[in-house]
Chains A and B, each alone.
Chain A
């Protein structure tokens, strides 16, 4: 019996009249890579925002390892072991790479309401921040100011910051978007590495990457789940062909 780590039940999110998330009920298995596909505007980012607490659902439930986290705030979600990366690069541009990861790593403290001893004496935080940089291939950029790095490197840092919090479940919102092919291969390799131990929910436009990484795929259209299945099932599904894969070329940004 596979363990369900995250489950949504009849999840809805309305923006005014727009149903950005429309009755989505999904189950995510521990240890698997679950990809979410869909054309632009399908509601993928909105779904991630609901799961990460960035947005509150209009109705429905979300549970993580059996606990109801429907109304939990982003900081709570992060602390219980769900990390996320953002589609739009969301880093601390004036900080060095190391300092960016430091903030992620320091959240391993029970609380950062500590006022007396200098933070730099915290060995464990050091190790975590450096480990995250290393995983993402940014060890050489440790002291570079994040805002001065290339776009691709900033995307890698985006992932490194999340990894520094050492999450159990990773929500990745288009981690490869806008990357050059070399960086893209690096990050795909990183995702494959992460997939060995962690659970990934991966939004990605790059079909090759999705088909090579994913264990299960959900296709979304207009906020609703169109179909969920194995890579083979999705490849061969007529409904998916019609709705999405047929004109995938246009969608790839």
Chain B
């Protein structure tokens, strides 16, 4: 458990400032790339709620990302006008229901069995979309339009404008970050973090730990569905690959690399992995080797990921924080 100290807050505000200013200087290509990374970050943060805070290593989290994306495309993809509020509400509630059903079955198990079961469910969803001609099969689905964000017939944000889309996603990323920090500071979060440390003991202290794990799973799944919704709206396209185990595995990697159990770690991990994936191939065709080496280095020498490194640097700047009460 880390206490978010003042230097960390300053660091996060600087990062936010950079993200706010970026579209001013960045080209269209990079604005689009950073938008994509921020959407993925929402997904990896939600996975961190499971891995880093609840102790549930889900190897099927991409299923909910994909379900969110597919729901938008299937239910609204053919419409001339997509109402943002309706499509978002419907997509998130249905993804939440899916997470509830999957979670209800999976949280009975733990450790390796939990990993296997979440993977199996995700593969089931993957093949469902992959093999169903109705939903585009392996070609995926193209969407005609993006959701319209209007309030009393006035358009608030124009998602067809890439800068608008960028700030729209940034606002969601900040919102998700603040929402998760809020629930982690609340009594609920304290129980989650304790469950990760020693579930049996927490149970003996009077908490129905399966319920807490299930709620955590549903919250994480719903946020992953939000990321999928944003991705589908961004690219106007969904593909079964969104649900594949490869996506889930990459997300785990980003969380671990960035530092699990911290909310900003996964965001950093996502930026690093996606940027490396985009730029390393330009320098060498053996870029996958270099990627592997970087990951091995981080796991061996930075056990708490890059966020852990940032925490130890920040602790040198700040005098010891008083009475650790932070979640």
Give chain A's interface residues, CB within 8 Å of chain B: 52, 54, 73-75, 78-79, 84, 86, 90-96, 98-99, 102-104, 106-107, 109, 112-120, 122, 142-143, 161-162, 164-165
Contact = CB atoms under 8 A, between A and B. Distances in A.
Nearest to B219: A115
6 contacts: A74-B203, A78-B204, A90-B200, A112-B191, A115-B186, A119-B186
A165 B207 CA distance: 11
A52 B204 contact: yes
Contacts of B200: 54, 90
The 3 closest A-B pairs by CB, nearest first: A78-B206, A107-B206, A112-B187
A96 B324 contact: yes
A200 B203 CA distance: 21
A91 B323 contact: no
Given A86-B204, A113-B212, A118-B182, 18 more contacts: A52-B204, A54-B204, A73-B203, A75-B204, A75-B207, A90-B198, A93-B198, A95-B197, A107-B205, A107-B207, A112-B187, A112-B191, A112-B212, A115-B183, A119-B187, A119-B189, A161-B205, A165-B205
Contacts of B325: 98-99, 120
Contacts of A86: 201, 204
Residue of B185, B191, B204, B324 contacting most chain A CB atoms (<10 Å): B204
Interface in B144-190: 182-183, 185-190
Contacts of B206: 75, 78-79, 107, 165
B299 interface: no
B1 A95 contact: yes
Interface of B: 1, 182-183, 185-191, 194, 197-198, 200-209, 211-212, 215, 323-325, 327
A109 B207 CA distance: 10
B323 A112 contact: no
A116 B178 CA distance: 11
B308 to A, nearest CB: 14
Contact of A78 (B183, B187, B205, B324): B205
A119 B185 contact: yes
Contacts of B212: 112-113
Contacts of A102: 190
A142 B323 CA distance: 8
Contacts of B208: 73, 75
Chain A interface, DSSP helix/strand/loop, else mixed: loop
Nearest to B193: A95
A98 B182 CA distance: 21
Contacts of B197: 92-95
A159 to B, nearest CB: 13
A143 B1 CA distance: 13
Contact of A122 (B187, B194, B204, B205): B187
A92 B195 CA distance: 9
Contacts of B201: 86, 90-92, 161
A158 to B, nearest CB: 9
A64 B200 CA distance: 22
A85 to B, nearest CB: 9
A113 B204 contact: no
A114 B203 contact: no
Contacts of A75: 203-209
A170 B206 CA distance: 14
Contacts of A164: 205
Contact of A106 (B1, B183, B187, B324): B187
Contacts of B209: 75
Given A95-B1, A120-B325, A115 B182 contact: yes
Given A52-B204, A78-B205, A104-B205, A112 B324 contact: no
Contacts of A90: 198, 200-201, 204
A87 to B, nearest CB: 13
B194 A113 contact: no
Contacts of A103: 190-191, 194, 202, 205
B198 A91 contact: yes
A122 to B, nearest CB: 7
Contacts of A92: 194, 197-198, 201
A116 B198 CA distance: 24
Contacts of B207: 75, 107, 112
A74 B205 CA distance: 8
Given A98-B323, A106-B187, A116 B182 contact: yes
A183 to B, nearest CB: 21
Contact of B190 (A93, A94, A112): A112
A71 to B, nearest CB: 15
A118 B1 contact: no
Nearest to B215: A113
Contacts of A109: 187
Contacts of A104: 205
A112 B188 contact: yes
Contacts of A114: 186-188
Given A106-B190, A109-B187, A120-B325, A94 B1 contact: yes
Residue of B190, B209, B215, B324 contacting most chain A CB atoms (<10 Å): B190
A94 to B, nearest CB: 6
